[in-house]
Structures are given as C-alpha cells and as structure tokens.
Structure 1
C-alpha cells in the first residue's frame, strides 16, 4: 500500500484536489470521476461527495491501495 502524508496550511482541502496533489489522479476532474466510482473512503466510510472538505487529522483510503493522511502545516515537525 502506498502511503502519503499531506501537510495543509488551510482549514481543509477538497477531496478531488487532495487526490490530484498526491498524484493518485492527473487532474481534479479525474479525481471527481474516481470519487464517483465509490472506491474512496474517508475515515473508514465511503465518500461520494467529490469536493468533500478534508481536514487535518483525517485519513483517505483509495481502493485499499493508497492511504493519505492529512496533517496541519507544522504538525509533523
């Protein structure tokens, strides 16, 4: 399983943008399409909202192959 830790300096990041910046998909549109297939989970629950607000402390799992943990900027130091 691939694992990423993404630092954000805002309150949240839209799910489709998170998938794009980690390289899981090539574009925000591809991220929206991936979420629509039902293979994305946020904190263990299936997520179908393409622009769901992902906040620090949350974990995104894509098809049980990619795990993305979101942390607040400066929290991983």
Structure 2
C-alpha cells in the first residue's frame, strides 16, 4: 500500500465522488460512480457504494487500482 496523501478541504466536508475527482482518481462524476459501484473504494475500512457519501475531516479513503491501492486522508 502506498503512503497516505493528506487532502485539505473547506469546512463542511466533501462528497466521495468529488474527492475522487479532486485527487485525480476519476476524470468525471461518471468515472467516480463506476469506480465506487465496482466496490473499489473503502471509507474508514468499509466498502462504500454511495457516491454522495459525505466525508468529514479525518476520513480515510482507499481506492484499489491496477497499479496499487491509493490512500487519502481528509484534513
């Protein structure tokens, strides 16, 4: 597993699909939805299938990809 990348956000959190686009894992909302629907995303160790899942500071998101798992922490 790769190192955890810290992702700063504004107050109020960020939605999972938005985070995936922001960090470059997904090019569009449709891409984000497909990655999430495939079960390739975990939030705090649990598979998450809701693109609109609200992420608050401290959430850890892991994305499984062919090149290895990417890990992000919302700060």
**Structure 2, gaps ≥5 residues long:** none
* From 62, 66, 72, the counterpart of 2:70: 66
In 1: Cα distance, 2:7 partner to 2:24 partner: 12
**Structure 1, gaps ≥5 residues long:** 72-77
Q: TM-score, normalised by structure 2?
A: 0.86
Contact 1:20 1:27 in 2 (8 A): yes
1:74 counterpart residue number: none
Number of aligned residues: 71
In 2: Cα distance, 1:31 partner to 1:37 partner: 10
In 2: Cα distance, 1:49 partner to 1:43 partner: 14
How large is the RMSD of aligned CA atoms in angstroms? 1.3
Moved over 4 A (4+): none
Identify, as 1 or 2, the structure richer in strand.
1
